[in-house]
């Protein structure tokens, strides 16, 4: 057991905060390892979505990745509904983001350009955000109001 008195607690706390900040900074200079995958469906189309659940996973997202297969995506999973905003700083692949309700219904879509700091927000509170290769939704005629299915979504 380590005993910490009040005089040694502050420097230790500062060191822990500095290390946490360094870890976050390093995570955002290279792609994160592949995340666990959930299969989602959009009608007859199957999506293999990596699940970004933790704040660190969500902060890094698709940054620094140089490739993404046709039906691969990243689903940002949250426990509550909020207006959500994304940007593309350090993201090298053009993406389309779909903001989704808890049951998987698309609220709105936004095309996002690589390396852009332009903010793209949900039109109203969203539980999830799904990033796919730019044009993926358009090529399949998938628009706001369309409901995706899969384990992360609640039944209507």
Could you tell me if 110 and 97 are in contact, meaning their C-beta atoms sit under 8 angstroms apart? Answer: yes
Region 113-133: mean pLDDT is: 98
Give residue 28's pLDDT band: very low, low, confident or very high (50, 70, 90). low
Is residue 18 assigned to a domain?
no
Strand order in the sheet with 45-52: 106-112, 95-100, 126-133, 72-82, 45-52, 37-42, 149-150
The pairing of beta strand 126-133 with beta strand 37-42: unpaired
Is residue 9 assigned to a domain?
no
Q: Which residue has the tokens 């940002």?
A: 76
What percentage of the chain carries pLDDT values higher than 90?
76
Q: What is the pLDDT of residues 82-105, one digit of tens each?
A: 999 999 999 999 999 999 999 999
Is residue 16 assigned to a domain?
no
Q: Which of 17-21, 47-51, 141-145 has the lowest mean pLDDT?
A: 17-21
Is residue 25 assigned to a domain?
no
The CATH number of whichever domain residue 139 belongs to comes to: 2.60.120.1140
What span, in angstroms and rounded, lies between the C-alpha atoms of 86 and 84? 7
What span, in angstroms and rounded, lies between the C-alpha atoms of 154 and 103? 5
Is residue 82 assigned to a domain?
yes
Is residue 102 assigned to a domain?
yes
Q: Which residue has the tokens 């852009």?
A: 116
Write out the residue range of the structural domain in which residue 136 sits: 37-150
What span, in angstroms and rounded, lies between the C-alpha atoms of 33 and 110? 25
Residues 6+ apart with CB under 8 A from 146: 42, 43, 105, 106
Q: How many domains does the chain have?
A: 1
Region 49-69: mean pLDDT is: 95
Could you tell me if 146 and 106 are in contact, meaning their C-beta atoms sit under 8 angstroms apart? Answer: yes
Is residue 27 assigned to a domain?
no
Give residue 6's pLDDT band: very low, low, confident or very high (50, 70, 90). very low
Is residue 46 assigned to a domain?
yes
């Amino acid at each position: 057991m380590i005993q910490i008195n009040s005089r040694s607690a502050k420097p230790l706390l500062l060191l822990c905060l500095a290390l946490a900040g360094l870890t976050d900074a390093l995570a955002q200079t290279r792609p994160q390892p592949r995340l666990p995958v959930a299969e989602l469906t959009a009608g007859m189309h199957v999506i293999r979505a990596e699940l970004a659940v933790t704040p660190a996973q969500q902060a890094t997202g698709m940054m620094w990745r140089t490739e993404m297969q046709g039906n691969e995506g990243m689903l940002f999973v949250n426990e509550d509904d909020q207006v959500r905003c994304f940007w593309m700083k350090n993201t090298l692949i053009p993406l389309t983001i779909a903001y989704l309700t808890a049951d998987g219904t698309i609220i709105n879509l936004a095309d996002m350009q690589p390396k852009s700091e332009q903010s793209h927000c949900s039109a109203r509170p969203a539980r999830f955000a799904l990033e796919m290769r730019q044009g993926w939704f358009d090529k399949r005629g998938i628009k706001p109001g369309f409901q995706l299915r899969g384990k992360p979504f609640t039944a209507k």
